[in-house]
Structure 1
Amino acid sequence: MSLAATPPILHIDHLRFAYPGDPPIAAGWSARIGAGVTLLHGDTGSGKSTLLRVLAGVLPATGGRLTLAGAALPDAAEAYRRQVFFVDPSTDAFDAMGVEECAASRSADVPFDAARWQALVDGFSLAPHLAKKMFMLSTGSKRKVWLAAALASSRPLTLLDEPTAGLDAGSMRCLWRTLAEVAQEGGRAVIVASGERVDGVPLTATLTLPLTG
């Protein structure tokens, strides 16, 4: 694991998570995640998605403490979660909403970069779908909507789970280009969970599961 000397945004102290009877995904893990893009790397089934859910505050850790923008888990769960952009790519909770309404609903309480949203709409070829409800979109198009909304959001912590899944080559280039821009801007941390290495994006840190110490 290599962590760059950037101002910490997410403080992780002695984090532990394990499903009953399984080896821990994180065991007494402490780290400081700074601004920029962090790669969470691991093989299929290693627990990347699970760890993102723990870091998002939607799955309780079995030990330790997370602090983000002054809000800590487990003490101030709602305040903590308001600092995070995370959507389970497989969720159907927003299916009745329109595409643009859906994106706006996840960033209603923070500044939203409309220019970046539009650039991602173009780069992901989402324009023909903007007037549709989410349930009308393919799984791949839904993922693109969430990626665009996440990257246009200004929440301090953004968590992306296997963001290249289902993307065509042009959309992948748009994703990497945007992540490279975000990495240079400062002020927010993006954690990308992926079984593949990220090319062309300057990384603040690389984490490999399982995480200890």
Structure 2
Amino acid sequence: MSAPAIEVAGLGKTYGSVTALDGIDFEVPRGTILGLLGPNASGKTTTVSILATLQRPSAGTARIDGHEVTAEPDRVRELISLTGQYAALMEGLTAAENLSFFGRLTGLRGAAVARRTGELVDLFDLGEVASRRVGQLSGGMRRRVDIAAALVTRPSVLFLDEPTTGLDPRSRTAVWETVATLREQGITVLLTTQYLEEADRLADSIVMLGSGRVVAAGTPEQLKSAAGAPTCELTVGPRSDPDAVAALLTGFTLLDRTDTGALAVRAPDGMGTVADVIGVLRAAEVDVADIGLRRPSLDDVFLQLTDAG
């Protein structure tokens, strides 16, 4: 069995009296996407900086493809690539010229840099914009070019630090599709994000940080299941009194009303519970405007387990 692409054990980082990381542990299997989540100042950026050899840890170890980041930083840098929150491109150059430039920076020359540029243009479907200056491209397309540039060296591990910050929903979706293709190429991705939907959609596994510690880890489904049972939420129509309807539901575990004023009951049997609630309401001829099953989301997990709430 091959070693994980990323191994973190007891990783700590202090700045004087401030503890940024307090002994975190996690592993990332090869060819998977890890979502690293947490509120501001939780330790996400510090973790990425250490893994990318930009900072030295105060304690613990971190390995990339089995190579320790402190003892073998040069070898680790050959294996990784990093994109920050904003595209690091030259807006006066075309998309293809940017890719060629980054290729030459990494030592490619002549036919090799042209070949790699062509491969990345095809891989990221950049043909229509390859000859356009980056400054003329949309935010989402610039981000796609930026991610393509990070892959010039064919890294084993790619760090994406909040890759969709500031993008509109359409551009964000396009970047998500781009990131998903990286898994198909066998590239291991560590993704930091503030968008819970982004992590839910892209990540094979998630590590949540809070105050420099790991507060939860697992697959998105595991974390959502840990947040509790689903709920049946219903909004009564104008001909019904919510308090009277709540009194009808005493056979269920009634929860606090939602932010929108909807009634909610715990639904341990999922749609079975919803069907039971509908039966009670129908027998009492309750006017119902809306009813449905709501499952816990990563937002619920995030608010429960971090300092964000």
Sort the TM-score into its range (normalised by shorter chain): 0.7 to 0.9
Residues 47 and 138 from structure 1, CA distance in 2 versus in 1: closer, same or farther, beyond 3 angstroms? farther
2:43 maps to 47
Contact 1:124/1:171 (8 A) holds in 2: no
Judged with a 3 Å threshold, the aligned counterparts in structure 2 of structure 1 residues 20 and 106 are, in CA distance, closer, same or farther, namely farther
Partner of 1:165: 165
Greater helix percent: which structure? 2
User: How far off is 1:117 after superposition?
Assistant: 3.7
Residues in 2 aligned to 1:205 and 1:172: alpha-carbon distance in whole angstroms: 20
Once the 2 structures are TM-superposed, how far is the Cα of residue 37 of structure 1 from its aligned partner? 0.9
Query: Are the equivalent residues in 1 in contact too, given 2:86–2:163 (CA < 8 A)?
Result: no
1:77 maps to which of 73, 76, 83: 73
The counterpart of 2:27, out of the listed 9, 12, 32, is 32
Q: Deviations over 1:77-101 (max 9, x none)?
A: 1111111101444697978985123
Can you list the C-alpha shifts for 1:91-112, whole angstroms capped at 9, x where unaligned?
9797898512343246657995
Residues 162-213 of structure 1 show CA distances to partners (whole Å, capped at 9, x for unaligned) of 1001334333222111222223443x21011111121673422101113349
> Structure 1, residues 95-142: CA drift from partner, whole Å, max 9, x if none?
898512343246657995844544536399565226xxxxx6899576
Q: Per the alignment, do residues 7 and 19 of structure 1 end up closer, same or farther by CA in structure 2, a change over 3 Å counting?
A: same
Check 1:49–1:96 CA distance in 2 against 1; reply closer, same or farther (3 A cut): farther
Q: Tell me which residue corresponds to 1:205.
A: 205
TM-score, normalised to structure 2, is 0.53
Q: Does 1:189 align with 2:185?
A: no
Residues 1:104 and 2:106 are matched in the alignment? no
Answer yes or no: is 1:58 the counterpart of 2:54.
yes
Q: 1:175 to 1:56 in 2, by over 3 A?
A: same
Which has more radius of gyration?
2
Q: Percent identity?
A: 19
- C-alpha distance in 1 between matches for 2:170 and 2:193: 19
Is 2:35–2:191's contact at 8 Å kept on the other side of the alignment? yes
Q: Between the two structures, name the one with larger relative contact order (CA 8 Å, sep ≥ 6).
A: 1
**CA distance in structure 1 between the partners assigned to 2:102 and 2:176 by the alignment:** 20
Partners in 2 of 1:30 and 1:45 — Cα distance? 18
User: 1:69 deviation in Å?
Assistant: 2.5
Q: Deviations over 1:50-98 (max 9, x none)?
A: 2211111111111122222242121111111111101444697978985
Amino acid at match of 1:37: I
Relative distance call for 1:125 and 1:38 in structure 2 (3 A) is: farther
Going from structure 1 to structure 2, the CA distance change for 1:172 and 1:102 (only over 3 Å counts) comes to: farther
Contact 1:112 1:154 in 2 (8 A): no
What is the CA–CA distance in structure 2 between the aligned matches of 1:160 and 1:89, rounded to whole Å?
Answer: 8
- The Cα RMSD (Å) is 3.8
Rounded to whole Å, the distance in 1 between the matches of 2:32 and 2:83 is 19
Query: Judging changes above 3 Å, is the alpha-carbon distance between structure 1 residues 55 and 138 closer, same or farther for their aligned structure 2 residues?
Result: farther
Check conservation: 1:85, 1:155, Cα contact below 8 A. yes
Change (3 A) 1:77 1:63: same
TM-score (norm 1): 0.73
Q: Is the 8 A contact 1:11 1:32 kept in 2?
A: yes
Q: Structure 1 unaligned runs (5+)?
A: 131-135
Q: Name the CA distance, whole Å, in 2 between partners of 1:181 and 1:92.
A: 21
What is residue 64 of structure 2 aligned with on the other side?
A: 68
- Cα distance 1:142–1:175, how it changes in 2: closer, same or farther (>3 A)? closer
**Structure 1 contact 113–154 (Cα < 8 Å) conserved:** no
Q: How far does residue 40 in structure 1 lie from its aligned partner after superposition?
A: 0.7
User: Amino acid of the residue matched to residue 16 of structure 1?
Assistant: G
